[in-house]
Structure 1
């Protein structure tokens, strides 16, 4: 008895946000562009098989995303290449393993680093406010100190001018001296309060500087750890967003057992891209060298930057070649 051979196409996409690229070698480029013809007529059925609950993705959400992925190819072919069924055709599964677990850890670390960065920025703003408050207090202290010195000089000048040889001051001058002395005391008290307030603000400032520096140390350590783990992840040839399309064949007869496995989901957009990529393999499209193609073997992205959500011209050309080949042209 001849055992069925199993053909595996392992497609590795980049880890979102960490600049890690793992991929299979680029496949040969498809044939040159040919006139557009709608020749793909056979439908490929698909259904949802297994969803690991740790992905936190509902069956409906996966069906909706898979439907959106099939629509990319359906619209390009101008015919329903793919059709959703209950339990027939390609089995689509979300398989949770060390790749998703590691990505979740890295994503959590990245979120922590991002929050620390925001906290540091907020701390810098708070320090700027405190620094401005200290400058304002210093300005007031200088002004009140000058005011106190002027009052003291006026007091001494008035006293010296009216003091007789016996060291006595006429009673008529005493009210003016007392007024100047009271004003000096009031300004002196204000000045002392202002100095104490400035000392409290400086203490808060120094405390927040220490806290800010601690945040910066935590941020640096976290980023270094994140880079180290990301580099370790990149050394794993199976790291990234993977989809596996498996086709089993008997003797010259294709066995209707096809699967799409997604091992890591970083976002709804990334899931759409990987599903569309694997659907392309399901209809016979190899990897393309164009970096903007859904079927590229190297799909790079950064956090906040969307992966390809539409078929490129290269994808459409490859689809036409496959359809023409299927029609015997």
Structure 2
């Protein structure tokens, strides 16, 4: 009898689980998932470095012209910069995990990378140094002076073209009302027409060159304004030509609202710079602050060339992870 009751109870229990399987999946499981994420976040906050931070791709903009493998390889190197010196797995790549506690890493193409790419195409590599700023400022000054002169010449020539075009059109209308022009007048009108066609082609080429120069100037402005801020220079804001732009310039940023965490990468001029900016933002994901060593990964400017931790970086990491 007792065995029968046990079997009956088991049947009832499994039947209840089966019957309520949908409510469990829609109500209980999300609660358990949130609880797991909250525990993970609290665990990482108060006992850092004990569990690796899971990360995955978020936005991946193809306009950077790099593959996901290229980006992932750079991420792997950036990850190793932190892990190797302390022998800990601090990060882990989880490509299929979309839960809220996973660190999402985004590659976002906007005016920042556009400016860097434009300057790179002209053979200009930007560094976060005063020497680089001075070089770019001198180039900007010379280029803007040339642009302003060429723009004045273009406007004068364009005004002359418009006047000649209007005079030509009035003559054509006049002779049309007369039933036609003489051969001599017709030949003069045809010569004027050919001149105007040639002139507009030249003006279009001049305008194209002006636009290219404006693009170069505006790329310089974006980078110069970024350097003014990052180098803490007492210099007024540089202004673009033909467009209004007042955005700030950051190569990357780590953001967290206490639950969701993301790294946004906006700009890099080389693979080495990409690795360093990724390593820097991963450092922030670990909870590390900026340090004063200008060669450090966690220095506020990405101006070093090394891809290893400096003593300042390592000291902060050890404090954060409770290591000696």
Report the TM range for the smaller structure's normalisation: 0.3 to 0.5
Q: Structure 2-normalised TM-score?
A: 0.47
Greater relative contact order structure (CA < 8 Å, 6+ sep): 1
Q: Structure 1-normalised TM-score?
A: 0.46
Greater Rg, structure 1 or structure 2?
Answer: 1
Q: Which has the higher helix share?
A: 2
